[in-house]
Structure 1
């Protein structure tokens, strides 16, 4: 079965979805400041370009949208009915890339936290793990 790329209308609609500056990112930034944590945003020097990172303290935070990163068991992690194979491959590649980024950061001694879009109510709990010693799994 041949993989078909999305049509122009679908592609344009998907392109309008924000990649940066989302509500959940703003909430994470506010919480990091409330916890007194200093950070840089979208650090391209680090594997996966974490949404928030502190290189001297060696921690990184990824904020994942449940649809794009296909959060397991989440109602937002749907698969479009049209061109299903394309989307399944895309989600698989995204998850593999995310896991690789976390693994590489951990090898460099970073504590890594993944905040999922649907877990907005748990931001404080997840971010306080940055302050703990040892590594944090997503």
Structure 2
């Protein structure tokens, strides 16, 4: 299937796609806030500058777009039909970088979790995953101490 956009239009479209504060990131951050977690975003000093970081817990959440991170066996990811060699090389490099950065963060003492864009179609499931990974929000712990 041929691209419906000219190469110049496609280039301009791809250039507008931001690296930070993407829709999936904003969805996860809103969910975390609603649950009651406090976090830092794009924390420097941690390999990969995690999208969401919990410094006291030393836990990092990376939110990956299914297209840019080439999510395997995903209904959202589709290899572009034009310039296949370019895209295959790009996606392989992206996956290798992701793996290297996650390993570096873990070697630096951080626990990591990857949330995929396609998972956000079921926010309840994502919420449960985040709670299992992070443990109770701090305000729940304080409330529990007061209630005893």
TM bucket, shorter chain: 0.7 to 0.9
Q: Aligned partners of 1:129 and 1:94: how far apart in 2? A: 27
**Post-superposition shift, 1:90?**
0.4
Structure 2 partner of 1:136: none
Q: Aligned partners of 1:126 and 1:109: how far apart in 2? A: 20
**TM value normalised by structure 1:** 0.83
Q: Which has the larger radius of gyration?
A: 2
Q: Aligned partners of 1:126 and 1:85: how far apart in 2? A: 36
Matched length: 126
Q: Aligned partners of 2:27 and 2:9: how far apart in 1? A: 31
**Post-superposition shift, 1:97?**
0.7
Structure 2 partner of 1:105: 105
Secondary structure at the aligned position of 2:106 is classed as helix
Aligned residues of 1:113 and 1:126 also touching (Cα < 8 A):
no
**Residue-by-residue CA offset, 1:56-111 (whole Å, 9 max, x unaligned):** 21000111100000001012211111110000000001111111111111112211
Q: CA RMSD in A?
A: 1.5
Unmatched 5+ stretches in structure 2: 1-6, 136-148
**Post-superposition shift, 1:35?**
3.0
Q: Aligned partners of 1:34 and 1:111: how far apart in 2? A: 22
Structure 2 partner of 1:46: 46
**Post-superposition shift, 1:20?**
2.3
Residue 73 in 1 paired to residue 73 in 2?
yes
Choose 60-69 or 107-116, whichever is displaced more: 107-116
Unmatched 5+ stretches in structure 1: 1-6, 133-138
